[in-house]
A = this chain, B = another copy of it.
Amino acid sequence: MKTQLKKGTLDMCVLAVLAQSDSYAYELVSTLSRTMEISEGTIYPLMRRLQNESWVSTYLVESASGPSRKYYALTEAGKRELELMRREWQEFVSEVGSVLSRLPAADKSGEQQA
């Protein structure tokens, strides 16, 4: 349903989680799932993109409970990008909010502006 809303924000969300601590794709999904919906089919292509942009680096860690985990770590460029995305996101939310705020529509008697 809200699929479209997520477009462009998931990168930022993943970077934000990685800003706290390194993680691997499978764990990222379960971490983010505590707050928002995200599925595995989404995360792997996404992580590849982040890596292509050099916003994350990777290293393998063996696991005793399954296959090796590919950990992702935020790079310096990734930190800068995260801050940029945050700014853009807040700006965008504010823009949308300002469009929405003109919808009170409750009462048009005292309206100003076109």
Interface residues of A (CB under 8 A from B): 1-9, 12-13, 16-17, 19-21, 27, 31-32, 35-36, 82, 86, 88-89, 92-93, 95-96, 98-100, 102-103, 105, 108, 111, 113-114
Given contacts A20-B105, A82-B103, contact A36 B95 (CB under 8 A): yes
A-B contact pairs, 23 of them (CB 8 A): A2-B8, A2-B92, A3-B8, A4-B7, A4-B8, A5-B89, A9-B96, A16-B102, A16-B103, A17-B99, A17-B103, A20-B108, A20-B111, A31-B114, A35-B95, A35-B99, A36-B92, A36-B96, A82-B103, A86-B100, A89-B96, A89-B100, A93-B93
Minimal beta-carbon separation of A102 from chain B (angstroms): 6
The copy count of this chain in the complex is 2
Chain B's closest residue to A21 (CB) is B108
A13's partner among B7, B100, B105, B111 (CB-CB below 8 A) is B100
Known: A13-B100, A35-B98. 11 other contacts (CB 8 A): A2-B92, A5-B88, A6-B92, A7-B7, A9-B96, A17-B102, A20-B103, A31-B113, A36-B92, A36-B99, A89-B100
